[in-house]
Structures are given as structure tokens and as C-alpha cells.
């Protein structure tokens, strides 16, 4: 086993990358079911990467966030659960790839990519402001996946690329590939991840990870997106889409300039509204939770 995967490393052994709605939480659930691995789901990047932090500062802040959530330092957590490897995931890590470059010498990265049509369909459905239209959602997917790809080229031996569709349709083989990358033995517990309690709070956005992987989520976009939406997504993403093994289903036409302008306006206005709504809803939930705890 490589030095970077020694037990109780002060640096993360594993970092998971991927766009929002690409399956990073599902992969977190699966890997956390392994007897040797602890993965922190969501790491609050805004509290990690502020002020141009050094590598040591990033690592210290990650440890602080884990201790805040679990009441234990990472070394104590690993010892209590008899685990050896630790890491974290957060879809917003793609915004901080430059800061993560030094970790390529100490950490194994796994990037999960999902069919952009499925990702964009989820953007629209979840109303988080990520992509309020098929066109703007596709642009987001394209930019993030391209950035992840360039990052992984810096140290390909430290990075593994997997597809969400393979993870849900060919779980055992895909997870064995992941374990080989991490230099650990495959365990059947990875396939039975949903039988183990999650170490993070389940909500509407991740509740599906509480059941066995469903292949239907890979193709749901076919029933929910219009032909025009699919065509626009395929136009924007076709090079990366095909490169990652997905097939075009339309002639992939570019929307005219007026429609593109309207899409961008819609993203700016509606996207900001959706973001503010989600933030306010989250703040209210936190307030009510603190109030209940105080009255308990």
C-alpha cells in the first residue's frame, strides 16, 4: 500500500469529485460501507477555501469541519470505527481544483461523471438554481466536467474516472475497480451499502441513496425532457458526451440567438431566486433544529 494510504494520515486519503446530481452521494454511501473507509459527505467548501489557504490550512479546516459534525477528531473517529482511510466529497470542490493540486501527491481522487441529460434533468427538477434551462444546465455540466478532466490529467496515476451509469448497472465490477485504485480489498458490504445507516442526514435530495441503486435513474431523462431540451443539451455537450461513451439521440441543433439570450436571462433571474429560496429554507430548518434542541 502506498504511503499516501497509511492509516490515520493527516491528509485525506480519498477525495471524490463530480458535478451536482452526478452520483457523488451514492458513491459516498457505498465507500463508507467498507470496513476501512470513512467519507465525509459535504465538507462546507465556503469554510475551507476562503482567504487563499495553504495546503496545511485546507487540511486543518477539513479536520475541523469533521470534528464539528461528529464531535471527534478524524484520528479519534477512525480509531472508534476501526477504519484506516478517510476522505470527503462535495460537488463544489470543482470550483477549487487549483487549491487541490498539491493533494495529488498524497491523495487518491475518484471523479464520477453522469450523462449530462440526466444531470440537467435533475438540475431543472430540483430547482436549486444550478441550471434553470436545458441550455444553461448543459453549459454548467460541460464546464465542470472539462475542468475535472484537465485536473485529472495532472496526475493520472492518482485519479480514477467512473461513470454513474456503470455504478448503478454494473455495481460489483465498478466498485472492484474503485477498490483496486484505492489499493484495498473489495467487500460485499459495498453492494449492501443501503442496509447501513448513513453517517449524514438524509433529505429530499439524497433519500434515494437509502435504497439499492436503481437503473431507472439513468434513463429517466428520456421520459421527462422534451426533444428540444435533449437536442440543446446534446449540442452543448456533444464532444464530452461522446467522449465519455454516451450516444447522441438527436441532430443536436444549436438554439437561435434569441432563444439563447432568453435562456441566459432566465438563468440569471430565476436561478438567483431559486438559490435565495433554498438558502432561506435551509436557514429556517437550522433555526428550528436549534430551537428544538434548546427546548429538549
Residue 3 reports pLDDT greater than 50: no
The answer to whether the Cα torsion of 182, 188, 194, 195 is positive or negative is: negative
Enclosing domain of residue 9: 3-295
pTM above 0.75, yes or no: yes
Residue 193, classified by CB atoms within 10 Å of its CB into exposed (0-12), middle (13-18) or buried (19+), is: buried
Q: Residue 204 above 70 pLDDT?
A: no
- Residue 62: name the closest of 26, 35, 110, 99 by CA: 99
Q: Please tell me the distance from the alpha carbon of residue 66 to that of residue 49, in angstroms, as a whole number.
A: 15
Q: 14-17 and 85-89 as β-strands: parallel, antiparallel, unpaired?
A: parallel
CATH number for the domain that contains residue 35: 3.40.50.300
7: CB partners within 8 A, 6+ apart: 78, 84, 85
pLDDT given at position 212: 65
Q: What is the Cα 165 distance to its own chain's centre? A: 14
Q: Cell numbers 485536473 label which residue?
A: 151
* Residue, of 244 and 4, whose pLDDT is higher: 244
- In the prediction, which pLDDT does 237 show? 98
Cross-strand partners of 161: 111
pLDDT at 6: 44
Which of the four pLDDT bands, split at 50, 70 and 90, describes residue 279? Answer: confident
Residue-by-residue DSSP string for 123-138: HHHHTSSS-SSHHHHH
pLDDT band at 201 (very low <50, low <70, confident <90, very high): low
> How far apart are alpha carbons 261 and 69 in whole angstroms?
43
| Mean pLDDT for the chain overall | 89
CB 77 within 8 A of CB 128: no
User: Cell numbers at residue 234, please?
Assistant: 446534446
Of 107, 96, 93, residue with least CA distance to 22: 93
The per-residue pLDDT for range 68-83, each reduced to its tens digit, is 888 998 889 899 989 9
Instruction: Say if residues 101 and 154 touch (Cβ distance below 8 Å).
Output: yes
> CA torsion sign, 35 to 62 to 27 to 125?
positive
Q: What is the pLDDT of residue 23?
A: 93
pLDDT in tens, 103-124: 999 999 999 999 999 999 999 9
The structural domain count of the chain equals 1
Amino acid at each position: 500500500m502506498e504511503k499516501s494510504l497509511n492509516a490515520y494520515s493527516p491528509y485525506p486519503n480519498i477525495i471524490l469529485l463530480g458535478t451536482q446530481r452526478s452520483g457523488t452521494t451514492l458513491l459516498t454511501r457505498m465507500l463508507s460501507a467498507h470496513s476501512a473507509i470513512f467519507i465525509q459527505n459535504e465538507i462546507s467548501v465556503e469554510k475551507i477555501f476562503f482567504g487563499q489557504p495553504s495546503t496545511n490550512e485546507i487540511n486543518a479546516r477539513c479536520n475541523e469541519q469533521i470534528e464539528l459534525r461528529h464531535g471527534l477528531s478524524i484520528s479519534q473517529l477512525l480509531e472508534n470505527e476501526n477504519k484506516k482511510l478517510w476522505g470527503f466529497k462535495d460537488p463544489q470542490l470543482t470550483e477549487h481544483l487549483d487549491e487541490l493540486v498539491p493533494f495529488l501527491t498524497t491523495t487518491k481522487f475518484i471523479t464520477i461523471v453522469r450523462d449530462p441529460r440526466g444531470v440537467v434533468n435533475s438540475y431543472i427538477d430540483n430547482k436549486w438554481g444550478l441550471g434553470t434551462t436545458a441550455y444553461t444546465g448543459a453549459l454548467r455540466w460541460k464546464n465542470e466536467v472539462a475542468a475535472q478532466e484537465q485536473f485529472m490529467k495532472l496526475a493520472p496515476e492518482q485519479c480514477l474516472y467512473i461513470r454513474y451509469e456503470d455504478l448503478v448497472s454494473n455495481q460489483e465490477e465498478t466498485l472492484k475497480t474503485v477498490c483496486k485504485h484505492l489499493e484495498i480489498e473489495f467487500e460485499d458490504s459495498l453492494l449492501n451499502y443501503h442496509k447501513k445507516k448513513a453517517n449524514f442526514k438524509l433529505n429530499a435530495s439524497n433519500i434515494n441513496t437509502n435504497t439499492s441503486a436503481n437503473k431507472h435513474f439513468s434513463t429517466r431523462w428520456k421520459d421527462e425532457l422534451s426533444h428540444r431540451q435533449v437536442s440543446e443539451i446534446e449540442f452543448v455537450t456533444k464532444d464530452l458526451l461522446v467522449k465519455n461513451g454516451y450516444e447522441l439521440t438527436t441532430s443536436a441543433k444549436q438554439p437561435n440567438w434569441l432563444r439563447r439570450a432568453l435562456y441566459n436571462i432566465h438563468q440569471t433571474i430565476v436561478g438567483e431566486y431559486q438559490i435565495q429560496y433554498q438558502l432561506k429554507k435551509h436557514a429556517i430548518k437550522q433555526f428550528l433544529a436549534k430551537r428544538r434542541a434548546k427546548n429538549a
